[in-house]
Structure 1
Amino acid sequence: MIYRRKRSIQMPGYLYLVALTLTFWSKLVTHADDAAAHKNFQRFPFRVNYRPVDLVKEKTQNVSLKCAIVPNSDHPFLFLDFILISKEHPQGGWVDVAQIEYLSGLKSFDKSITADGHIDNVEQAYLEIQWPLAVEETFGIYSCIVHGNDKDFKILEETSEIEIKPHDCKGM
């Protein structure tokens, strides 16, 4: 007598695999224009902030910029593909600083910063970059891009920008 083992598919894992496949497929058939990818739409509840707020060049230590989903918010994301922080280049365009991807993890593209993040759980997803000291390169306009899918597997991408400015010490 020959016994065959029945294969069972776990639905949560199966749905995740389908969503992941659809995400990769959709990236191949849809291309976002670079300029449009850095617009500030503010539709989804996530925040970009930096601390400390009063930065003094060459004096303020432990500077950080964080992009995060607002906890317990009414966001449409089922899962996230990536969070990306870019900096506007003085001659135009954007330069990637750090990224966290669901499949490949955390990447830092700038040796002068450290990066930390979490993307596995949408409610706790964030990407944070840190500088040991505020230097000239710390200041500028930063963009945070959050990319993922909703419950209908529709691609969602939201971008927010923030400017890190040095504190004016002349009035002190």
Structure 2
Amino acid sequence: MKLFFASDLHGCLTSTKRVIEAYKASGADHFILLGDILNHGPRNAVPADYAPAKVAELLNEYQQDIISVRGNCDSEVDQMLLEFPMMSDFALVLLDGGKRLFLTHGHLYNQNKLPPLKRGDVLAHGHTHFPVAECMGEYTLFNPGSATLPKGGNVASYGVLSDNQLQVVSFSGDVLAQTHIE
């Protein structure tokens, strides 16, 4: 099973189009959105090409493929535009070998406030806009970065899980971070 991850689109149509193109090119089986989909949020500048309704229309075309969680900038009004559920604070996906992928945005659960994880699980979240793929001893931490508002000098990115390999990838194809799930 191949999974594609994106986070922190913040209503930018240009970034969403790039994410969709990367998703289609990846051949992934599922498209995971880790929150902050439509709204730019009060702490962020309004992104160029800010068009939340158009972003919703585009994402709705892939509703059958999407697994999504709520970000701190997502609201019930956003859910009214989206045709896939996105108001859950977290979701669990079972991986091969009984490992779990704990999906969340990162404002409620993160490496400083861990959810209930067991050895070998993966904590996948966005929120910080920093790309991370790192073994933390008992669990693996994964953040695909932001497709719209990368921080800390990073570039816009997305994530892929394939053959137990987690990668954060720039839109130019550079691998920014990677780790293997044991």
Structures share a fold, TM > 0.5?
no
- Higher relative contact order, chain-length normalized (CA < 8 Å, sep 6+): 1
Mark the structure with the bigger radius of gyration.
1
TM-score range, shorter chain: under 0.3
TM-score (norm 1): 0.25
Query: Which structure is higher in strand share?
Result: 1
